[in-house]
A and B are shown apart, each in its own frame.
Chain A
Amino acid sequence: MAKLPFSLVTPEREYASGEADSVLVPGTEGLFEVQANHAPLMSTLSPGILVIRNAGTERRLFVRGGFADVNPEGLTVLAEVAIPEDELKGDVLGRQKQAAQKALSEGGTPEQVLEQQRAVDVLAGY
């Protein structure tokens, strides 16, 4: 099966790059899975778990705020925050939770509230 060139970048550094069999992206309008030769697509991200599947292995990362850009050259995920799932505990988790709660209480447009609610929901599972 053809491999999907893929990269995950945050403002501070290039988080991961390489090839994958498929990547499951938490889009604003729902989860979608990207494989090689996907049609060009641009979607905003919703806070959630990004799953990178490659040769039977799985990497799970919490991502928040950004975009997924699928073009003929591959998939690029631009996320403001990216944290591997197994590091999502203790202090790091607490800070993320706090930030999401705070943003939720501040309110905003219905879309913003929905996004923050999702972040709170996802994080509550850890």
Chain B
Amino acid sequence: MPSLKDLKDRITSVRSTQKITKAMQMVAAAKLRRAEEAATAARPYAQRIETVLGNLAAGLTPGAPGPKLLTGTGKDQVHLLVVATADRGLCGGFNSSIVRLARERIVSLQGQGKTVRLFTIGKKGRDQLKRLYGDLILEHYDTEGTKTVGFEQAKDVADRLLALYEEGAFDVATIFYGRFQSVIAQVPTASQVIPAKPPARPQDAAPVAPYEYEPDEEAILTTLLPRYVAVQVFRALLENAASEQGARMSAMDNATRNAGEMIDTLNLQYNRARQAQITTELVEIIAGAESV
């Protein structure tokens, strides 16, 4: 049976923890709103670039040798998994669920006899993957110290990916991130970035107006594809940022509620202990008085 003082200390400690989790929840909520705004603001560019790419790709003759970024290297041997996670923990299962999905993919690819390489973005993912697959990690992109996701970062990552691709370091690149569905649900998602998969044009879409191209189709495609890769990375990073805050918000909400319940139980225990003490003292006094 803990003493009265112990109980009191525990209550104070839990109460201050609750204050911290509550504050973290509110900060996450504010950041989540900003992250969601950023994700919405980035949507028009992504949509336009998709339409343009779709139009251009539709104009290519199938089977003809196109840019390597679009058609692939013709092999499917080396897979690069880009695992994007957060730099910080305390956000529920957010980081581990992305890592778990990546790990399942690694196991299944290795089972098929493929070579797997890793490119990690964010500290937590690297820390978790280092233990088992440290020798597979090819590169790491540090996002620490940056508060908001900017296109510059996405471009840096995309440039590194493209350079690696040019060197022939991998054949297929897939990015793993948490897709933001709602504050409670973030879905770990894998999407292929290289070779680029332009969105299929709907069958009933109006035929593309005969465009005039300056300088020419090929030159446009070669400048457009790297941008498309960057846009996809950017989108993944933005979704990830929103998901992280969402996950942290609900995790901290749970923690706050848990702390509340704990305080209630501890208070009950404390009161019981206090009453028991008073009763014992009274019994002692009465017993003492009677014996006189």
Contacts and interface: CB of A to CB of B under 8 A. Distances in A.
B214 A11 contact: no
Given A12-B41, A12-B151, A14-B44, A41 B212 contact: yes
Interface stretch (B166-174, B219-227, B247-255): B219-227
A94 interface: no
Interface stretch (A49-57, A66-74, A118-126): A66-74
B49 to A, nearest CB: 6
Contacts of B52: 42, 67, 69, 78
The size class of the interface chain A forms with chain B is 20 to 34
A71 B48 CA distance: 12
B212 A40 contact: yes
A78 B146 CA distance: 25
Contact of B211 (A13, A41, A76, A80): A41
B223 A44 contact: yes
Contacts, number: 74
Given A13-B42, A69-B52, A27 B234 contact: no
A44 B214 contact: yes
Interface residues of B, number: 28
B147 to A, nearest CB: 14
A78 B52 CA distance: 10
B215 A11 contact: no
Contacts of B57: none
Interface string A73-99: 000101010000000000000000000
B151 A9 contact: no
B212 A80 contact: no
A28 B219 CA distance: 11
A7 interface: yes
Interface in A22-51: 27-29, 39-44
Interface of A: 7, 9-14, 27-29, 39-44, 65-67, 69, 71-72, 76, 78, 80, 111
15 contacts: A10-B45, A11-B151, A11-B231, A11-B234, A12-B38, A12-B41, A12-B42, A13-B44, A14-B45, A27-B214, A28-B214, A29-B215, A69-B52, A71-B211, A80-B155
